[in-house]
Amino acid sequence: MHATFHILRRTYRDSVTLMQLAAKLARLPGVSNASASMATPANLDLLREAGTDVSGVEAGPNDLLIMLEGEDAAVQAALAEAQKLLSDRGEGAEQGERKRMAPRSLAMALAEGQAGLALISVPGEYAAAEALKSVHLGLNVMLFSDNVSMADEVVLKREADARGLIVMGPDCGTAIIDGIPLAFANKVRRGPIGLVAASGTGLQQVTVLIDRMGSGITQAIGTGGRDLKKEVGGLSMLAGLRALAEDPDTRVIVLISKPPAVEIAQRILAQARRADKPVVVNFLGTDAAAIDGDNLHGAYTLEDAARIAVALSEGRTPAAPPQPAIPGSGPKFTAGQRCIRGLYSGGTFCYEATLLLQAELDNVYSNTHVGRAKDLDNPWRSRGHTLIDLGDDLFTRGRPHPMIDHRLRNERILQEAADPEVAVILLDVVLGYGSHPDPAAEMRPALMQAADLARKSGREIAFVGHVCGTEADPQNVTRQSAALSGMGMLLANSNAQAVRLAARLARG
């Protein structure tokens, strides 16, 4: 089946919009594959790596490229739908009102009104220059773009630091500033807790759990995943920590990251000790007990970080973490069913799950490098207890992120269900802005088919998961949880509880 290309000259859309467009097109009847991206050299390379022949495509980085595979009539219908979706951007105001011209530069946009932050989502080769322009205009920056060099990141963050500003990113996917969710974020209530995180889904998990516990946040500041590397120096986390320490509305601060470089961790903890308020530190994979002391409170899991922060904000002593409940009539496994397969859309969820599962069980494999977990020879095939981050670049080349497009994970669910050793399939379901509008409906066919596949071979499979979302999210956590439970999924309150429940079930 050959690929059909459609080029929209000098048309730009940000990457989240294009991922959502591609996911919608791929779900249309008769369409087997779809992508939408700016025709930059890097994006064309990704299409080649995904097996698409782009030799005849004559498009440049300022052009929007749509690729479709499928039946001819379906492809033509999909192209018409794509043009309709791209033209319907909600720009028109009430009928008869004259449309104003969109600003064509950062300076033009800034002249139209007061702003303190620029959100930049352009191809990586242009992102650093646009971010630097923003900093020079006196703006804080959320840099959603990836493919920015570490050297450019260092220059940007040093320039921002010298001006008392902050650069969140590059590749910063989540932030909540003054109550406004940015990029992939959840709608949570305002409250007394401020966060700085070098992790997108880690930030989502902690803010969501704080909301569920009845509290709220002041600011949730992302830093980008490389911020705590030695070369970058933790400049954004240090800037965010300073801002929250000086903020009178923030009573408790939470810091979230995978293990930082040792010297950077020491620098951050030293500054945290100087804050005149409690600081909860969740450096996943490090010794939480070693962080305690003075005003510092170490947290082992993301759930622990939320629980401790809420208790401290209310003047309480944090309680012990709850244990996941085992259902009274759990699934009945055969003698050979003992394996867990985790299929994650959130990278930090997979990291935390791998960290926790290797403490409970042997022979844990993952494409996330954590502790004594073993690397997979082939990430497309599981073995033993396997946890996979499906948002890894290997899986997202030429296709939308799995928080938006569930096709790859649905295919993998069926693949794992066919393995007679599999007892538990472990899943995360991430709600919020940017994510799929109805994940439960998208997952339903695969879950039902997988359960039926196992049942026909005389087995049962436990589907275990957690939903990262709030009542105020567009998808609504109660509605999604009820739908997933109705399909037989066992839901825990957090990623950590879901992993521990899966381990208990697999041990029998």
The 10s digit of each residue's pLDDT in 449-460 is 999 999 999 999
pLDDT value of position 122: 85
pLDDT above 70 as % of the chain: 95
The backbone torsions φ and ψ at residue 22, rounded to the nearest 5 degrees and listed phi first, read -60, -40
Domain positions in the chain: 3-87, 104-171, 173-321, 339-506
The model's confidence at residue 109, banded by pLDDT at 50, 70 and 90, is confident
Q: 3-87 and 173-321: same fold?
A: no
Considering the four listed CATH numbers 3.40.1620, 3.30.2030, 1.10.3470, 3.30.70, the one that applies to the domain covering 3-87 is 3.30.70
What mean pLDDT, rounded, does the chain reach?
Answer: 91
pLDDT at 369 over 90: no
Which has more confidence, 409 or 37?
A: 409
Q: Which CATH class is domain 173-321?
A: alpha beta
Q: What is the pLDDT of residues 224-283, one digit of tens each?
A: 999 999 999 999 999 999 999 999 999 999 999 999 999 999 999 999 999 999 999 999
pLDDT at 196 over 50: yes
The model's confidence at residue 110, banded by pLDDT at 50, 70 and 90, is confident
Which has more confidence, 8 or 236?
A: 236
**Cα–Cα dist 304/299, whole Å:** 5
Residue 10: which region, alpha, beta or left (left: phi > 0; alpha: psi -120 to 50)? Answer: left
Contact between residue 452 and residue 488 where contact means Cβ atoms under 8 Å apart: no
Give me the sign of the Cα torsion angle 268, 270, 274, 278: positive
pLDDT value of position 90: 44
Give me the sign of the Cα torsion angle 230, 290, 255, 385: positive
pLDDT at 399 over 80: no
CATH 3.90.1010.10 fits 104-171, yes or no: no
pLDDT value of position 95: 44
pLDDT value of position 89: 55
**Cα–Cα dist 35/257, whole Å:** 32
CATH superfamily of 339-506: Succinyl-CoA synthetase domains (3.40.50.261)
pLDDT value of position 54: 87
pLDDT at 98 over 60: no
The model's confidence at residue 329, banded by pLDDT at 50, 70 and 90, is low
pLDDT at 433 over 70: yes
Contact between residue 314 and residue 296 where contact means Cβ atoms under 8 Å apart: no
Q: What is the pLDDT of residues 142-193, one digit of tens each?
A: 999 888 999 999 999 999 999 999 999 999 999 999 999 999 999 999 999 9
Q: Are strands 180-183 and 140-143 parallel, antiparallel or unpaired?
A: unpaired
Helix or strand (DSSP H, E) at 21: helix 15-26
Comparing CA positions, the residue from 301, 229, 223, 306 lying closest to residue 265 is: 229
In this prediction the pTM is: 0.88
pLDDT at 99 over 60: no
Question: Which residues neighbour 298 within 8 Å (Cβ) at sequence distance 6 or greater?
Answer: 280, 281, 282, 287, 288, 289, 290, 291, 292
